[in-house]
Amino acid sequence: MLGFGLIKGLSVTLKNLFSPVFTIQYPDRRVGLLALSKHLDKPISKILTETPKIFLLGLVRMVKIPVKIDQFPRFRGNEFVWYDDRCTACASCAKYCPLGIIEIVTHPGGENMQAGENYAIDKFDIDTGRCMFCGLCVEACPYDALHMGTDFERGNYERVNLVLDKETLISQNKNPSSWFRPQFEENEYNPWEKDLNNPKEAGRHEKPSYQNIKNKWVSKRKLDG
């Protein structure tokens, strides 16, 4: 019947009106009192007595609570994670970097002269302002010391602040991405849930044996025909 299509279209949009929104509020969202008491884990009466100003804002749904967005574990942010205990200052990353933005200065003589630890690191700077996050440095690292990071909230007003120096890399919380680090995925490590400050927990990327590779690829190819 003519005219029925118009009403059908109206009913579709009306259904959309009462369905939940897809928008994810970021970096914070406005909530009312119920969601606020759930967030703070406090009853509403306690919010009223302790912080009446926030209670009033909550009445009109204007309290901001921060929102953290979960990404996939392989997500690459605009930072790097570096374990100084593992780094031997071999400078493989600096050599592989196509932009030459990793600057390493060393002097001979580590504190304990074990194998592979012959150099002490004076300077380890990564200029993320010029980085294109290709990940070649992470692929090149033979000791799994450098990882892609997952933090993406590193916007800055000055280019100088974008340079990650040695102190920042050591002191910051480490949430390495599992990009090119299959051991993280084997251990089911999720950077969005916990930090990984201790390198001993991080595990090493072991080179698969010839038999493993054969099992994984050759036999699969046979099955595929």
- What are the residues binding other proteins (CB under 8 A)? 1-3, 6, 9-10, 12-14, 16-17, 19-23, 25, 30, 60-62
Least separation in angstroms between residue 58's CB and other proteins is 10
How many residues does the structure list for the chain?
A: 225
By beta-carbon proximity to other proteins, the closer residue of 27 and 100 is: 27
Of residues 56 and 132, the one with the C-beta less far from other proteins? 56
**Closer residue to other proteins (CB): 47 or 93:** 47
Q: Shortest Cβ distance from residue 8 to other proteins (Å)?
A: 10
CB-CB neighbours of 124 under 10 Å: 27
Q: How far is the CB of 48 from other proteins (least distance, A)?
A: 18
Q: CB nearer to other proteins: give 29 or 205.
A: 29
Report the interhelical angle of 33-40 vs 52-59 (nearest 10°).
Answer: 140
3 state SS of 103: strand
Which CB sits closer to other proteins, 8 or 221? Answer: 8
For residue 22, the minimal CB distance to other proteins (Å) is: 5
- Give yes or no for a contact between 122 and 84, defined as CB atoms under 8 angstroms apart: no
208: cis peptide before it, omega within 30°?
Answer: no
Q: What are phi and psi of 127, to 5 degrees?
A: -85, 90
Smallest distance, Å, CB 52 to other proteins? 17
* Radius of gyration in angstroms for the set of CA atoms belonging to the chain, rounded to a whole number: 25
β-bridge partners, 52: none
